[in-house]
Amino acid sequence: MKQIQVIILLSLVSSTELLSQDEKGFRFNGQLSLYSNYAPKNDLDFLLGGRYIPELRYTVPLDTSTTLDFFGSANIFGSTSFHPFDSSNNTGDITAYRIWARLTGRQYEVRLGLQKIDFGVATVLRPLQWFNQVDPRDPLGITNGVYGGLARYYFLNNANLWFWVLYGNEKTKGFELIPTSQSFPEIGGRVQLPIPKGEIGLTYHYRIGDSEGIPEIPSYEKIPENRFGLDVKWDVTVGLWLEASHITKSKNLGLLTNQTLINVGTDYTFGIGSGLNFVIEHLLGSYDEKAFQFEEISNTTAVTLAYPLSFFDNMSMVSTYSWDSKTGSFFLNYEHQFKKFAGYVMLYYNPETPQGLIENDIQTSTTGPGMRLMIVFNH
């Protein structure tokens, strides 16, 4: 089914490539990225890769306040990891990236298909990163989507209501520890409300997990799972936020039965030069057989800095520290905007122990120090 979707998508892209953005409501865009990586502490220390994401949108205005959109994009990528004159490993694929239809009105939106669903107030260590794999160190924000339907209603006081149904997502998403059973759809919802000097969000999600075939944990075909989320943000002299989630399973999976994640953070922009933005977050994680025991806990702190050097140049840094393993990660990114391209120079250090970050394939699982160069062309 998913292969058929890719074929249809690429056929639409090739047949409409020559249409102008005003003809028949079509718009065709794309993003090409080429990158190289060097990580001397790894067996395959060199990496060369590329990715092209073509995007096709068709818009149909139904009346003055209602619009029907169709959107499709593919993820065409390939890379080779190698040690010169010794060994190599090649990967590549063409997959559907986004395929959805959306109906929007004055105060509502309904979207159906392969899409990105994201919410929460944390920036790096994110307890509510339930449905995507966005790595905060990735300047392109690459992530797989989820199959499902999403409806949102926006009230006039800035409150909004979400409801979603997901189905057909075989791979784990976000911080999921076991895959989802295909016997029943996932359902959930969210409400965001304005509060004095900020906003609050309450989120719920239900799914059935499947642990069959996973070593070292009890095997169950169906494991009902409930997720509860809370996020609050205040804009006072500084930005302050709290983001937390609790995930509980109805079957006993030992320490994987209950998971609690709590993030507290703050940000402030100092009046230094063009403005230095500083963010610090702390994540407390707990995995318990019984809810809220907090016997097996972990603590991770993250710091980010962002500084615009000029209109075309930016510097940013993400660093994490695990208080349990006493290890840290470091990521420095320099970005320059050319006339038609963007160039990136990235320096990093990844320890062998996890740091509470979700990784995607742009930030590979290499350990130790490394350097990545990337150039991006958007059309």
Q: Which of 231, 155, 232 is nearest to 196 (CA)?
A: 232
Kindly write down the DSSP assignment for every residue of 110-162, as one continuous string. Answer: EEEEEE-----S-SSS-TT--S----TT-TT-----EEEEEEEEE-TTS-EEE
Start and end residues for every CATH 2.40.160.100 domain found in the chain: 121-378
Which helix (H) or strand (E) is 249 found in, with range?
strand 239-249
pLDDT of residue 365: 65
Tokens 């994401």, residue located: 53
Q: Do residues 200 and 206 lie in contact, with contact meaning Cβ atoms separated by under 8 Å?
A: no
- pLDDT tens, per residue, the chain with 379 residues: 555 455 445 554 444 444 444 445 899 999 999 999 999 999 999 999 999 999 999 999 999 999 999 999 999 999 999 998 889 999 999 999 999 999 999 999 999 999 999 999 999 999 999 999 899 999 999 999 999 999 999 999 999 999 999 999 988 888 888 999 999 999 999 999 999 999 999 999 999 999 998 888 899 999 999 999 999 999 999 999 999 999 999 999 998 999 999 999 999 999 999 999 999 999 999 999 998 888 889 999 999 999 999 999 999 999 999 999 999 999 999 999 998 899 999 999 999 887 677 766 545 568 899 999 999 999 9
Q: Give dist(CA 206, CA 130) in Å, integer.
A: 12
Q: Give dist(CA 99, CA 275) in Å, integer.
A: 39
Query: Residues 6 or more apart from 293 whose CB is under 8 A from it?
Result: 258, 286
339-to-228, 309, 313, 359 alpha-carbon distances in Å: 45, 17, 12, 30
Q: Is the dihedral of CA 10, 96, 115, 8 positive or negative?
A: positive
Q: Give dist(CA 128, CA 145) in Å, integer.
A: 16
Q: Give dist(CA 255, CA 294) in Å, integer.
A: 11
pLDDT of residue 24: 54
Q: What CATH number belongs to 121-378?
A: 2.40.160.100
- In sequence order, the β-bridge partners of residue 110 are 103, 151
Rg (CA), the chain: 22
Which helix (H) or strand (E) is 341 found in, with range?
strand 341-350
